[in-house]
Amino acid sequence: MTNMSVCPGCLGRFADIEGPVHAYLKGSAGCWARFGQALALQYSDHRYWPAHQLLTDAYSLQHSRGDDPRARRSARIHLAALYAQIHLGQSEARLVALRKALSDPSLADLPTVWPVPSVSIAEIDISEPARHLHSVERFALAVLSDWSDHHSIAAQLCKV
């Protein structure tokens, strides 16, 4: 039986493997590998692509924790981009521009009270494109809902 470990970013349980982790996103190697598997699918099969922006922003937001300035900047960028998609229905082109505008290091950071995660990508379906999109939508909605205390900041950030 595979040993499991808890990811410090999303509190999900993943295989306790040795492997690469992101430079500043807080995640276990097992969680990072699972995210990489979903990304590989999205990049190699266009039928999975519609879930890409939501998955990337939700996963990055969830794992942007701690005092590293890059993580704090990442939280600001991905919170706004997730909010822009779900609440404002903004296009992929607009999201790319928004993320770029918000990467300006002179902008104020979010408060450092990180929400307790309610979901993890362990629940994401990769068996088939429609089920994948549906499961990513559920995941992204839950992540944004975990961040509900910061929605007014997100709405402000989306005005850049």
Nearer to Zn ion, 8 or 111 (CB): 8
Residue 36 tokens, joined: 């990489």
Kindly report each contact of residues 37-42 with a partner whose C-beta sits within 8 Å and lies 24 or more positions away, as own/partner.
37/126, 38/121, 38/124, 38/126, 38/132, 41/126, 41/132
Q: How many of the chain's residues bind Zn ion (CB under 5 A)?
A: 5
Rounded least distance, CB 133 to Zn ion, Å? 20
CA distance 37 to 49: 13
Nearer to Zn ion, 27 or 129 (CB): 27
Rounded least distance, CB 61 to Zn ion, Å? 12
CA distance 5 to 61: 21
Nearer to Zn ion, 10 or 51 (CB): 10
CA angle, residues 50, 54, 59, in degrees to nearest 5: 135
What residues numbered 18-77 form the site for Zn ion, per CB under 5 A?
A: 27, 31
Rounded least distance, CB 35 to Zn ion, Å? 8
Nearer to Zn ion, 104 or 123 (CB): 123
Nearest-10 Cα torsion for 84, 89, 93, 98: -10
Residue 25 tokens, joined: 């996103």
Continuous H helices in 87-126? 92-102
Position among 10, 61, 136, 158 found at the interface with Zn ion (CB under 5 A): 10
Nearer to Zn ion, 10 or 29 (CB): 10
Rounded least distance, CB 156 to Zn ion, Å? 27
Residue 154 interacts with Zn ion (CB under 5 A): yes or no:
no
The residues of the shown chain that bind Zn ion, judged by CB under 5 A, are: 7, 9-10, 27, 31
